[in-house]
Amino acid sequence: MGLATVLAVASGGILHAPAVRAEQPAPVTVEETSEILIVGDSITHASVGDYSWRYFAWQQLRSAKADVDFVGPERDPFVGRGSTWRPRYSDADFDQDHAATWGDRIAFQPLHDRTALMTTYRPDVVVLALGANDLGWMEMDPHDVLPWTRAWLVEARRLVPDVDIVLVDVPWTTSADARTYNSLLEDLAAELDDSRARVIVAAAAHDYQMGRKNGTGDTYDAMHPNTRGQVKIAAAVTDALAELGVGSRYPRPLRFPAEGPRVRPQIQGRSSTTTAKWRWSVPPGTTSFDVWLQRQGKRWVRADRSRSINTYRVKDPQRCEAQTLRVRSRKGWTLAGRDMTTRSLTLRVGPKVSGRATLRGAKPRTRGVAVSWARTRGACAYVVRAVRVDNQGQRIVAQSVVTASRRSTVVRGVRSRTKVRVQVRAMGARNATRWSKTRVVRPR
């Protein structure tokens, strides 16, 4: 069945068969899968830890119940040479086949084999997203790039005559050359578009904002899309596919999921008598970290922005003072979503405590117990607890944390005539003593 028939069915068009006798079965039209070949550069390839715009395009096509199959010789995102990361996306739930290559171009020495791609896959639709490296890295004039694009389309049509082609314009909105090239693409599409083999443009540059070092915008560096940018490119491409009768337009207003990297760093730490040091894991795709620190009794402050190493050290804080740290990843200029913040980890500096705390006294009070204890050397605080033991097991019914300068407290909240066991332990900067011996008390 020809592609025009497939597109008519996919878009809800009605195909009229000639009149038949009543006893004859009506002809059955079988909807064929539209095979889509996506050829592009790093913007399309995506790097480790990204969703990729292909992910969001696939999700929209699936939501629209479009019968499509992404084809191509590649599946993975880009992982830099020497990296220990495995090639992984933020979410692998999509058809990952593609023909995009980091650094690819359409003019000088392309990294893809057009003939092999077209003859191997014989796609129904080609999404061609090249040109950024020709204009940027190769510094070509847009009028010199266009003939190469024209030649690509003409040869692709010679190999697969009825192929439809979506030309993705270059989402580089601060470049005058890119704006010129995008305008030339519109003219080329209007010239080559044919009812039997369509050529249309996906307006990826529309409403696209280049990123800034403060983390705003649609790219995480001078060129590559963050999650916002990926959604915008996907919307442009799926809108163009819908014009071909494949799927439906991307829903508006656009919805943007939280930014990546979408793996939460795992944090750990150690302290000594003078220094607190934290270390955390590096999620795939992370290039730096923002670090927040809260000192005891103070507000959270951003202690470092775009920190290039995965450790942080606080030297010579006050003994026993709580230092709490949390971290979030960045990819380039883009900060990961709040939900990717590490847990908060508190460290204190000071000597270790040893032995067992000494309970001096435990006297009943009205709905409470007056407790006293001996000083433990190096203690930062003391924890006093009242434990009730009955046929349901051991339960803490009251507990107090007391500063190191005190040697007594009254534990409140114990029911009258309830027999409880009272204990105390000393908390050091880096450890705790064993619980003291128990005294049994029945509050009045």
Which DSSP string corresponds to 264-277?
Answer: PPPEEEEE-SSEEE
Does the pLDDT of residue 111 top 80, yes or no? yes
Structure tokens at 255: 């919805």
427/212 Cα distance (integer angstroms):
47
Point out which residues pair with 421 in neighbouring strands: 387, 440
Three-state secondary structure string covering 310-371: CEEEEECCCCCCCEEEEEEEEECCEECCHHHCCCCEEECCCCCCCCECCEEEEEEECCEEEE
- Percentage of the chain lying above the pLDDT 90 cut: 86
Q: State the pLDDT confidence band at 96, using cuts at 50, 70 and 90.
A: very high
- For the segment 140-164, the average pLDDT, to the nearest whole number, is 98
- The amino acid that residue 391 corresponds to is N
- For the segment 134-155, the average pLDDT, to the nearest whole number, is 97
Place of tokens 């590096």: 282
pLDDT value of residue 443: 85
Under DSSP, is residue 60 helix (H, G, I), strand (E, B) or coil?
A: helix
- For the segment 32-36, the average pLDDT, to the nearest whole number, is 94
Does the pLDDT of residue 31 top 60, yes or no? no
Domains 267-347 and 359-441 share a fold: yes
pLDDT value of residue 16: 32
Lowest mean pLDDT among 99-113, 274-288, 380-394: 380-394
DSSP β-ladder status, 125-129 and 34-40: parallel
The third-level CATH classification (topology) of the domain covering 267-347 is Immunoglobulin-like (2.60.40)
CA angle 18, 24, 26 (to 5 degrees): 55
Does the pLDDT of residue 335 top 70, yes or no? yes
Under DSSP, is residue 227 helix (H, G, I), strand (E, B) or coil?
A: helix
Does the pLDDT of residue 281 top 50, yes or no? yes
DSSP string, 274-318: SEEEEEE---TT--EEEEEEEETTS--EEEEEEESSSEEEEESPP
pLDDT value of residue 414: 86
Instruction: Please tell us whether the domain made up of 359-441 is placed in CATH 3.40.50.10860.
Output: no
DSSP tag of 15: P
pLDDT value of residue 418: 84
Does the pLDDT of residue 433 top 50, yes or no? yes
pLDDT value of residue 18: 37
Does the pLDDT of residue 269 top 70, yes or no? yes
Place of tokens 């086949």: 97
DSSP string, 109-121: S-SS-HHHHHHHH
402/370 Cα distance (integer angstroms):
13
Lowest mean pLDDT among 24-28, 41-45, 318-322: 24-28
- Mean pLDDT across the chain, nearest whole number? 91
Lowest mean pLDDT among 41-45, 140-144, 211-215, 263-267: 211-215
Phi-psi region of 217 (alpha: psi -120 to 50; beta: other; left: phi over 0): left
The domain segmentation of the chain, as residue ranges, is: 31-243, 267-347, 359-441
DSSP tag of 16: P
pLDDT value of residue 391: 67
Measured in residues, the chain has a length of: 444
Does the pLDDT of residue 229 top 50, yes or no? yes
421-444 burial, b at 16+ Cβ within 10 Å, e below that, comes to: bbbbbbbbbbebbebbeebebebe
Measuring CA to CA, how many Å separate 39 from each of 35, 200, 330?
A: 13, 15, 28
Q: Cis link prior to 142 (omega < 30° from 0)? A: no
- For the segment 21-37, the average pLDDT, to the nearest whole number, is 59
Positive or negative CA dihedral for 347, 349, 355, 358? negative
pLDDT value of residue 444: 79
Instruction: Give Cβ neighbours of residue 250 (< 8 Å, ≥ 6 apart).
Output: 60, 234, 235, 238, 239
- For the segment 320-326, the average pLDDT, to the nearest whole number, is 96
Instruction: Give Cβ neighbours of residue 257 (< 8 Å, ≥ 6 apart).
Output: 51, 227, 231, 337
CATH number of 31-243, picked from 3.40.50.2000, 1.10.10.10, 3.90.850.10, 3.40.50.1110: 3.40.50.1110
Under DSSP, is residue 137 helix (H, G, I), strand (E, B) or coil?
A: coil
pLDDT value of residue 6: 31
Does the pLDDT of residue 112 top 70, yes or no? yes
- Percentage of the chain lying above the pLDDT 70 cut: 93
Other beta carbons within 10 Å of 333: 20
Does the pLDDT of residue 23 top 50, yes or no? no
pLDDT value of residue 9: 30
Structure tokens at 242: 């819908």
Does the pLDDT of residue 396 top 90, yes or no? no
Higher-confidence residue of 315 and 180: namely: 180
Instruction: Write phi, then psi, for 420 (nearest 5 degrees).
Output: -130, 155
Structure tokens at 208: 């696209």
- For the segment 55-63, the average pLDDT, to the nearest whole number, is 98
